[in-house]
Structure 1
Amino acid sequence: MDGFDETFDWVVVGSGAGSMTSALVMRQAGKSVLVLEKTGYVGGTTAKSGGVIWVPNNPLMRQAGEQDSTEAGIAYLEALAENLPGSTPEKRRAYVVESQKMIDFLLAQGIPLARGADFWPDYYDEVPGGCKTSRTVTARYFNKAELGPEWAARLRPGFVSQPAMLSEGLKLAWVGRSWKIKLLLLRIGLRVIAGKLTGKQWVSAGAALQGRLLKAVLDAGADVRIDSPVRELVIADGRVAGVIAESGGERRRIGARLGVLINAGGFAQNQAMRDRFMPGTRAEWSNTPEGDTGDMHAEMERIGAALGQMDQMVGYQMTRMPGWEQAFVKPPAQSLTGKPGAILVDQSGQRYMNEGGSYELYCQTMFERNRTVPAIPSWAIFDARFAQSYPIAGVRMAKMHQVWKDSGYLKEADTIEGLAAQIGVPAEALQATIARWNGFVDAGHDADFGRGARAYDQWLGDPFLKPNPALARIDQAPFYAVDVVPGDVSTYGGAVTDARARVLRPDGSVIDGLYACGVSSASVMGGVYVGAGASIGPSLAFGYVAARHAAGLDNSL
């Protein structure tokens, strides 16, 4: 191609899971591929995450004898999703159908995948098509030493560096309650010892998914470059024909014969964009990496792309315990208020949601409540029995009790009235709220918000608590409170794309040569987070779809 310093068939901006999947498709088709990553690490937000992929009727479910279907997956999305610019019935159907093919493709490429868990229900499992077992898929833990020292050092760190599946790690929280889980811990410990003796460098969860994909892409002969931010999309003859990338202070024009895929993350670390599109949200509360600054959102908008659903984020509630500013993962509050014996109240002392539901809905509800009643921050309320039974954001209170009290983070009192005074809410209101909650627990039914009725609420609770894992009284002094704010794991809006992952203009016409997936695109889920892996799943699926379409392998969509 004229006017370019170098040319590839397929140029990918960003190095997340969808990027790598698209690169594998293109390399299998015999096409040249360049992956450009702006930061010094490969993997983006996916590497920091649990690496969960949500796919209805996936082949691993079928192998396990699970009863699911494409039709049920489509029905589930149709029951929940709004028809928004990035989410149409055609695109939702394409996701459910093509995501299954994508899993088959990755397995055929030698990527070891497994069910994320046998029991990880959809977040709205009660609606038509919802799944009460698990539609989740994850990668098997990975020895990053297989990448070689150079690339192993460039794989973005994850939050689990042990030879354990994510599903195994989730069980370890209950190690003191089950001999089976104690044996599981022993098995993991033996793997750790064996790994150290043999020089293994284990990673799990999202880092394992990214590590395995990176190895496959490198083995397939794709060119992956770090510290190479894309500054511009190049338009020639009415189509996106390449990019201008910067490396080592030098700008290079790079051609793309078949197209450019944007999978460069969202804009969660760009406070100016947050103020423009989702005022009131905070970059400092985000779990995304430093490179999540929306550069390509702005660039796609510059060349005429329609942006959609830019007011949405994948909320993930957090609590601001001491040290949260420097934490690799912001202290999560889902595992706090989702456990039995804890509730969330606003600054008037009122409970206002089902604390056990989707984290995206949880944070969305906080923002909605805050418009009429101060609710940011809100307060997680629990008692002595809870503090002895469950960790606070993964930390046992016995270890940090005095530090937390001295810092002012943990509020503690021998009475509800005393606790109300510490958090600045009316004592009568907080007393009434807790009394009402205790009444619901005694009756076995949350008459206000239905907590504990769905399988997902119970999954978040205590599996050893009967009859309802999500419900327990708050009645044993001392009483405690910690703050909860609406953090996030990503923004959820971006370029509007069609069922082929092609980027569209505001009039619905296609920008030829330009594709987008992941959170660089407006979510196919239509304003709802339907289950664990509802952002990584579409990234992989539409990266797969985009590459197949651009390579002319499947134009049936």
Structure 2
Amino acid sequence: MSGFDETFDWVVVGSGAGSMSSALVMRQAGKSVLILEKSRWVGGTTAKSGGVIWVPNNRFLKEAGDEDSAQAGIDYLDAICADIPGSSHEKRLTYVNEGSKMIDFLVGQGVELERGSASGFWPDYYDEAPGGCKTSRTVVAKPFDKKELGPWAKKLRKGFLEVPARLEEGMKLAYVRRDPALKKVKRSLILRTIGTRLTGKHYVTAGAALQGRMLQASLKAGVDIRTESPVSELIVENGKVTGVATVKDGKPWRVGGKLGVLVNAGGFAQNQAMRDKYMPGTRAEWSQTNESDTGDLHVEMERIGGVLAQMDQMVGYQSTLAPGWERAYVTPPAQSLTGKPHAILVDQTGVRFMNEGGSYELYCETMLKRNQAVPAVPSWAILDQQYAEYYQVAGKWIDKKTPKGWLESGYLHKADTIEALAASIKVEPATLAATVARWNGFVAQGKDEDFHRGERAYDEWLGDPYHGPVRALGDIAKGPFYAVPVVPGDVSTYGGVVTDAQGRVVKADGAPIEGLYATGVSSASVMGGVYPGAGASIGPSLTFGYIAAKHAAGLGNEF
């Protein structure tokens, strides 16, 4: 290698979860590592996210006494995932076998993790499939005091839940009107937050906790991490990727990578031109991803022979665009809005067209497919007063006082009858009335004959634990009635370069591009176009970062 201003053993583009798992492997092997982050902040979209990791047969599941196995994990993935360019049985099997080892490795590196659900209930999204898990395969980081990072605390990307609480605890507060005991939990959380701030601590949870802990471990291990260092070119010499072109102190800078380059630079969710090309009808502003998620390295890897696949896929995450959403750090999510009792989703003709529970990826995919035949973007969430009394809409209570501007802007529609509500949202009154009547009939008999909502354990998880007999089913019968729009947002795109089971980027003929690896949503997902459970993008990012580093360093099964 020649002409480089600087050389490391391992060069990583992007600072998401998989970047740091790979860096920790390399440092454990005694290799030098450089992570180059395009933005001002470390952590990628992972830091903004829930930070959940989906891994079958993991140590925390076993410690809880739940039954699981690698065989059950691969049976499940093979049952729900298609064999397409980014996903094969071999890759899925590698993920299942190596994912649990990756979790053990991170714990051994001092990254404090725990089961994602203390109650043991956060089911797979297709739990009825062979090998599906009705308890929980999720893993999360323990809450983290980011002040432990010292000067790096200011460089950690902001999370959405910066309080001393576990993610599951925060989600329980959605039922504060259903369980008076939760008011004490809420007060305790407020006092905890005040107390920790007064003592100079600043706790974060969810994705920021995961990335804070990964950053802390990486810095302790001696990883060189640089922000505001975009990569503009992958340098190829004699068919091998030997380094990258970046910037240092505002000047062009070439860095060599003796063992290779790992690309974990995110997806292209913030690039509207690429969205229009690959997934028309979706919008960048509806995405929860960070501002630097613009697909630069997708284009660059394709330029040097990488093959892009699954580019029409995204990790859909339904959102409701309440007034002020443009200024919000996180677009108001609607994951459980229509999955709770007393609510359904209809298209712009007033017809219900899906199970409103289940996978958010499938929810948005179904909405987009429906929109090809019938206007369905946005669709309408139809709610009644029972819903309004029990649950919030876009983080606000609407039963006693309408939030300022919601009615005036046309975001919230409210009427005394279903027919009047239909007229307000420009839907044929008889059609919407028939849809609601049919739904109420299903609720009365305890079975959704059209779309089987409530039959999966995950549907029940999205429903209301205080409601019965079916947590996900409740009639729409008490006025006034409400409607709010729902759009197919996302937490990331899901397509990228095709990689093999070692994380190597491959060419059209299947041969690897020597020296080039990819993980996370820079690669075509190992899950194909399916989202198996909470954390099914962070889990593979961490795992294939871990696998790629082991392969590049020639470590075999040492880690």
Alignment TM-score > 0.5, same fold: yes
- Measured in 2, the distance between the counterparts of 1:8 and 1:28 equals 15
| Cα-to-partner distance string for 1:346-388 (whole Å, 9 max, x where unaligned) | 1111000000111000000011111111111110001111111
Are 2:73 and 1:60 aligned? no
| Aligned partners of 2:26 and 2:33 also within 8 Å | yes
| Aligned partners of 1:367 and 1:375 also within 8 Å | yes
Indicate the residue corresponding to 2:426 in structure 1.
Answer: 424
- Measured in 1, the distance between the counterparts of 2:58 and 2:232 equals 38
Are 2:154 and 1:153 aligned? yes
| Cα-to-partner distance string for 1:30-84 (whole Å, 9 max, x where unaligned) | 0000000000000111000000000011001111111111111101101100111
Shift of 1:261: 0.3
Indicate the residue corresponding to 2:343 in structure 1.
Answer: 342
Indicate the residue corresponding to 2:449 in structure 1.
Answer: 447
Indicate the residue corresponding to 2:113 in structure 1.
Answer: 113
| Cα-to-partner distance string for 1:152-196 (whole Å, 9 max, x where unaligned) | 111000001111111111112223433654454455345324412
Change (3 A) 1:189 1:409: closer
| Aligned partners of 1:549 and 1:555 also within 8 Å | no
Deviates more, 1:388-397 or 1:170-179: 170-179
Shift of 1:417: 1.2
- Measured in 2, the distance between the counterparts of 1:46 and 1:279 equals 25
- Measured in 2, the distance between the counterparts of 1:101 and 1:186 equals 39
| Aligned partners of 2:178 and 2:390 also within 8 Å | no
Change (3 A) 1:69 1:180: farther
Indicate the residue corresponding to 2:36 in structure 1.
Answer: 36
| Aligned partners of 2:413 and 2:484 also within 8 Å | yes
Indicate the residue corresponding to 2:23 in structure 1.
Answer: 23
Task: Provide the secondary structure at the position in 1 that maps to 2:406.
Answer: helix
How many residue pairs were aligned? Answer: 556
Q: Mapping of 1:395-544 within 5 angstroms?
A: 395-397=396-398, 398-544=400-546
- Measured in 1, the distance between the counterparts of 2:210 and 2:356 equals 30
| Aligned partners of 2:550 and 2:556 also within 8 Å | yes
Letter of the aligned partner of 1:492 in structure 2?
Y
Indicate the residue corresponding to 1:276 in structure 2.
Answer: 277
| Aligned partners of 1:335 and 1:393 also within 8 Å | no
Indicate the residue corresponding to 2:248 in structure 1.
Answer: 247
Shift of 1:270: 0.3
- Measured in 2, the distance between the counterparts of 1:482 and 1:316 equals 16
| Aligned partners of 1:77 and 1:525 also within 8 Å | yes
Indicate the residue corresponding to 2:322 in structure 1.
Answer: 321
Are 2:108 and 1:75 aligned? no
Moved over 4 A (4+): none
Letter of the aligned partner of 1:283 in structure 2?
A
| Aligned partners of 1:503 and 1:514 also within 8 Å | yes
Task: Provide the secondary structure at the position in 1 that maps to 2:176.
Answer: helix
Shift of 1:416: 1.3
Deviates more, 1:373-382 or 1:436-445: 373-382
Indicate the percent of aligned positions where both proteins have the same amino acid.
66
Letter of the aligned partner of 2:312 in structure 1?
D
- Measured in 2, the distance between the counterparts of 1:336 and 1:261 equals 38
Deviates more, 1:547-556 or 1:150-159: 547-556
Q: Mapping of 1:71-220 within 5 angstroms?
A: 71-117=71-117, 118-148=120-150, 150-178=151-179, 181-185=182-186, 187-220=188-221
| Aligned partners of 1:310 and 1:494 also within 8 Å | yes
| Aligned partners of 2:177 and 2:391 also within 8 Å | no
Deviates more, 1:467-476 or 1:184-193: 184-193
Letter of the aligned partner of 1:273 in structure 2?
M
- Measured in 2, the distance between the counterparts of 1:514 and 1:80 equals 29
Gaps of 5+ in 1: none
- Measured in 1, the distance between the counterparts of 2:101 and 2:188 equals 33
- Measured in 2, the distance between the counterparts of 1:388 and 1:183 equals 19
- Measured in 2, the distance between the counterparts of 1:247 and 1:448 equals 58
TM-score (norm 1): 0.98
Indicate the residue corresponding to 1:311 in structure 2.
Answer: 312
- Measured in 2, the distance between the counterparts of 1:197 and 1:157 equals 20
Are 2:543 and 1:554 aligned? no
TM-score (norm 2): 0.97
Indicate the residue corresponding to 1:376 in structure 2.
Answer: 377
| Cα-to-partner distance string for 1:444-468 (whole Å, 9 max, x where unaligned) | 0000000001110011011000101
Letter of the aligned partner of 1:26 in structure 2?
M
Letter of the aligned partner of 2:305 in structure 1?
G
- Measured in 1, the distance between the counterparts of 2:558 and 2:305 equals 26
Letter of the aligned partner of 2:434 in structure 1?
A
Letter of the aligned partner of 1:519 in structure 2?
V
Letter of the aligned partner of 1:96 in structure 2?
V
Letter of the aligned partner of 1:43 in structure 2?
G
Task: Provide the secondary structure at the position in 2 that maps to 1:340.
Answer: coil
| Cα-to-partner distance string for 1:122-168 (whole Å, 9 max, x where unaligned) | 011111111111100000011111111x3111100000111111111
Letter of the aligned partner of 1:264 in structure 2?
A
- Measured in 1, the distance between the counterparts of 2:219 and 2:14 equals 15
- Measured in 1, the distance between the counterparts of 2:310 and 2:554 equals 30
Task: Provide the secondary structure at the position in 2 that maps to 1:97.
Answer: helix
Letter of the aligned partner of 2:171 in structure 1?
L
| Aligned partners of 2:175 and 2:391 also within 8 Å | no
Letter of the aligned partner of 2:204 in structure 1?
V
| Cα-to-partner distance string for 1:92-142 (whole Å, 9 max, x where unaligned) | 000011000000000101111011112111011111111111100000011
